Amino acid sequence: MDLAYTPEEEEFRARLREWLGKVLPTLPPKPSPDDWPARRAYDLGWQRMLYDAGYAGLHWPVDAGGRRATPTQHLIFLEETEKAGAPYVGANFVGLLHAGPTIAAEGTAEQRARWLPPVLRGEEVWCQGFSEPDAGSDLAALRTRAWRDGDDYVVSGSKIWTSHAEVADWCELLVRTDPRAPKHRGISWLAMPMDAPGITVRPLRTLAGSTEFAEVFLDEVRVPVANRVGPENDGWRVTMVTLSFERGTAFVGEVVACRRVLGELAREARKNGRWDDPVLRRRLGRLNAEFRALWRLTQWNVGESERTGGVPGIGGSVFKLRYSHARQELYDTAADVLGPESLDLSADWTLDRLSSLSYTIAAGTSQIQRNIVAERILGLPKGR
C-alpha cells in the first residue's frame, strides 16, 4: 500500500502545473451558462490548447490518438487542472468520456480514424442519445426504431435528457434494430450526424432554470449502416463499455472541487459567525472526513485499474452512490452556513445546490446503483 508518487509522476505533475500557470491567464472570460454557442467555442478552445500541449486523450490508447498515460497520471491531470481552476471538460464531455472511449474500444479502424481525432482536437462535439421518455432507468426498454433500407438505417423515435444536443455534431444513439428479440438483445449503437434531415432539438429547462439538456425528436432520419459501432443488435454490450467509463472516472475533478468548496464554506462560516454553532461545525468536520475518504476511494480505484490494467470496474457504482449523496449534503450544509443568502439565485452556491439534485438521478439513479451493487458485487438474486 502506497500513497507516494513516483519521481516520473511528480515530474509529470510539475510540468503540468507549470503549463497551467502559463496558459490559464490567457483564457477568455467564461461565457454565460445559457449561451450554448459561446460555451461550445470556449470548451473547444480549451480542448485545442490541451491537444496542442499533448494533454488530450491522456488515458486513451495510442492507436486511438491518445497518450496512454497511466491511470495515476490521469488522476494527477484531473486533480491539478481542477486545483488550478482550469475549465471543465464541458461540451466535450460525451465525446471524451463516453463516445470516444467506446469507439476506441469497439470501432473499426475507419471509424476510429473518422471520429476520434476531431474529438481530441476539439473540433466536434458529441451528445448522448440513450434515455427516452419511457426508458430512463430501464434503458433497455428504449423504443426508438431503426429499419434497414439499403445502406442506411431509417430511425424514428425520440430521446430525452440529451445534454449539449443544441451544439452537438454527433450523437451516440441507441436504437432498436430487432423488435422481436429480448429487450437487451435487439439494440444497436449508431453514430448519428446531428445535421441529418428529420432531427428536431427542443431545449428543456432544468429546475435550476438552465437549458442544460434537450429533447431530440427523430423522424425517419437516415443514418448510414457504416456508422454502426459493433455488430447489429449488440449495442447493449457496447453501451455497457461506455457506461463503465462514465462511472469510473467521471467524478475525479469534482471530488477535488468539493474539498475546495468545503474549505470555502468553513471560512464563510467563520466570517458570518455561524462557525460558533458546534452542531454546524461538527457537520463540516464530518463532511471533511467524507470527502477525504472519497478522495482515497478515487485513489484506490485508480490503483485497482492500474493493477488490472484497463477498463474501470464496477466499483464505480460504489463511488457514485456515496459521492452523489455526499455532494447533496455538502450543498445542504452550505445553505445552513449561508442562511437567508442561500435563497439568492445569483449566488453560485444556490445554483450548485440546485444542480446537485441531479447527481442521484443522472447516469443511473441511486436505486439502480444499489441494485447493481447488490446483484453484481454481492451476488444477491435478481428480483422484480
Q: Which of 10, 191, 23, 232 is nearest to 99 (CA)?
A: 191
Q: How far apart are CA 274 and CA 308, in angstroms?
A: 47
Side-chain-side CA neighbours of 360 within 13 Å: the count stands at 13
Q: Which of 246, 268, 304, 306 is catalytic?
A: 246
Q: Which of 96, 252, 262, 330 binds other proteins (CB under 8 A)?
A: 262
Judged by CB under 8 A, does residue 276 bind other proteins?
A: no
Q: How far apart are CA 28 and CA 266, in angstroms?
A: 30
Footprint of other proteins on residues 58-77 (CB under 8 A)?
A: 72, 75
Residue 363 — left, alpha, or beta (φ > 0 → left; ψ -120 to 50 → alpha)? left
The torsion angles phi and psi of 154, rounded to 5 degrees, stand at -110, 120
Judged by CB under 8 A, does residue 273 bind other proteins?
A: no
What residues have CB less than 8 Å from 173, skipping those under 6 apart?
Answer: 129, 144, 155, 159, 189, 190, 191, 192, 223
CB 198 within 8 A of CB 218: yes
Q: Which stretch binds other proteins (CB under 8 A): 107-115, 130-138, 219-227, 289-297?
A: 289-297
Which cell numbers in the block locate residue 313?
470496474
Q: How far apart are CA 259 and CA 295, in angstroms?
A: 9
Q: What is the per-residue DSSP string for 263-305?
A: HHHHHHHHHHTGGG-HHHHHHHHHHHHHHHHHHHHHHHHHHHH
Q: Which stretch binds other proteins (CB under 8 A): 97-105, 201-209, 213-221, 262-270?
A: 262-270
Which cell numbers in the block locate residue 180?
422481436
Q: How far apart are CA 170 and CA 37, in angstroms?
A: 15
Q: Which stretch binds other proteins (CB under 8 A): 118-126, 162-170, 215-223, 294-302?
A: 294-302
Footprint of other proteins on residues 225-254 (CB under 8 A)?
A: none
| Cβ-based nearer residue to other proteins, 165 or 284 | 284
Q: Which of 24, 41, 266, 362 binds other proteins (CB under 8 A)?
A: 266
| Cβ-based nearer residue to other proteins, 173 or 372 | 372
Strand partners, 135: 132
Judged by CB under 8 A, does residue 367 bind other proteins?
A: yes
Q: Which of 34, 304, 332, 344 binds other proteins (CB under 8 A)?
A: 304
Active site residue 246: yes
Q: Which of 173, 238, 294, 337 binds other proteins (CB under 8 A)?
A: 294
Q: How many residues bind other proteins (CB under 8 A)?
A: 57
- Torsion from C-alpha of 266, 268, 271, 276, nearest 10 degrees: -40
Judged by CB under 8 A, does residue 293 bind other proteins?
A: yes
Place of cell 452542531: 279
One character per residue 311-340, x = contact with other proteins (rule: CB under 8 A): ----x--x--xx------------------
Judged on CB neighbours under 10 Å (0-12, 13-18, 19+), 338 is buried
Q: Which of 3, 62, 109, 207 binds other proteins (CB under 8 A)?
A: 3
Q: Which stretch binds other proteins (CB under 8 A): 175-183, 293-301, 342-350, 354-362?
A: 293-301
Footprint of other proteins on residues 152-171 (CB under 8 A)?
A: none
Judged by CB under 8 A, does residue 299 bind other proteins?
A: yes
Judged by CB under 8 A, does residue 373 bind other proteins?
A: yes
Residues that bind other proteins (CB under 8 A): 1-6, 9, 72, 75, 260, 262-263, 265-267, 270, 278, 281-286, 288-290, 292-294, 296-297, 299-300, 302-304, 306-307, 315, 318, 321-322, 367, 369-371, 373-375, 377-384
Q: Catalogue the active-site residues.
A: 246
